[in-house]
Amino acid sequence: MKKERPFSELIPFLPPDTFEEVAQYFQDHTIHLTLTRERKSVLGDYRRPTNDAPYHRISINASLNPYSFLITLLHELAHMLVFLQYRNEVMPHGTEWKMQFQKMLIPYIGKNFFPKEIENALIKYLNNPKASTCTDTNLYKALYRHSNNKEGWTLLEDLPIGTRFSIKGGKEYQLMEKRRTRYTCKEIDTGKLYLFPSIYEIKPLGI
């Protein structure tokens, strides 16, 4: 059985001075929060109460930097509040969720909780929030720059033309051409050309 821990242990995962605001949601609602190992395809998730688990369940990747953690946590809390108001009558990331998420994030804008680069990208993102921050290129890049990324890894868009790089799994490529949001890269072993998104995480190998 998992042991319950004091919610104050969440403080190190959040930007300074944001805990009290977040804590209010947990005081007003019964929420089981789980911190998980890194998941590539999802940063967090929300599950509604069931007969077997009559409480709200939220999980967040513990590996996220504090700014990503706060944004992801508010994202999932917005799902909770939308469920409480509409149950299952609206789309998961529809208008109701977007308006709720905007309402919850706006109080954190303009108060130096976020670095300027992240805040500027976040303001643009809030015009039409998407299901995942990973799908907003500018916000993803801003958050990535403030993460404790593995040494030697960076984003593909940081490389000059001609640079060789490897991806997770070990395959090696060479950057051939920069386009608007995707880059043409040649696989070293086969010579085949592939398109990679500019925010793909890679490890430079040299020219």
Report if residue 65 sits inside a domain. yes
Q: What is the mean pLDDT of the chain?
A: 90
Over range 27-39, report the average pLDDT. 89
Handedness of CA 10, 83, 38, 3 (dihedral sign): positive
The total domain count for the chain is 2
Instruction: Looking at the structure, tell me whether residues 16 and 88 fall in a common domain.
Output: yes
Mean pLDDT (whole number) for 16-28: 93
pTM: 0.85
**Residue 1 pLDDT:** 43
- Same domain membership, residue 89 and residue 116: yes
More confident position, 206 or 130? 130
154-155: strand order across its sheet: 154-155, 201-206, 164-166, 172-178, 182-187, 193-197
Q: State the Cα–Cα distance between residues 105 and 107, nearest whole angstrom.
A: 6
CATH number of the domain within which 169 lies: 2.30.30.30
Angle between helices 66-86 and 137-145 (to 10 degrees): 140
Whether the per-residue pLDDT at 10 is higher than 80: the answer is yes
What tens digit of pLDDT does each residue of 124-162 get?
Answer: 999 888 878 777 889 999 999 888 777 789 999 999 999
Q: Which residue segment(s) compose the domain that 184 sits in?
A: 154-206
Which pLDDT score, from 0 to 100, does residue 55 have? 94
CB 77 within 8 A of CB 104: yes
Average pLDDT over residues 80-96: 93
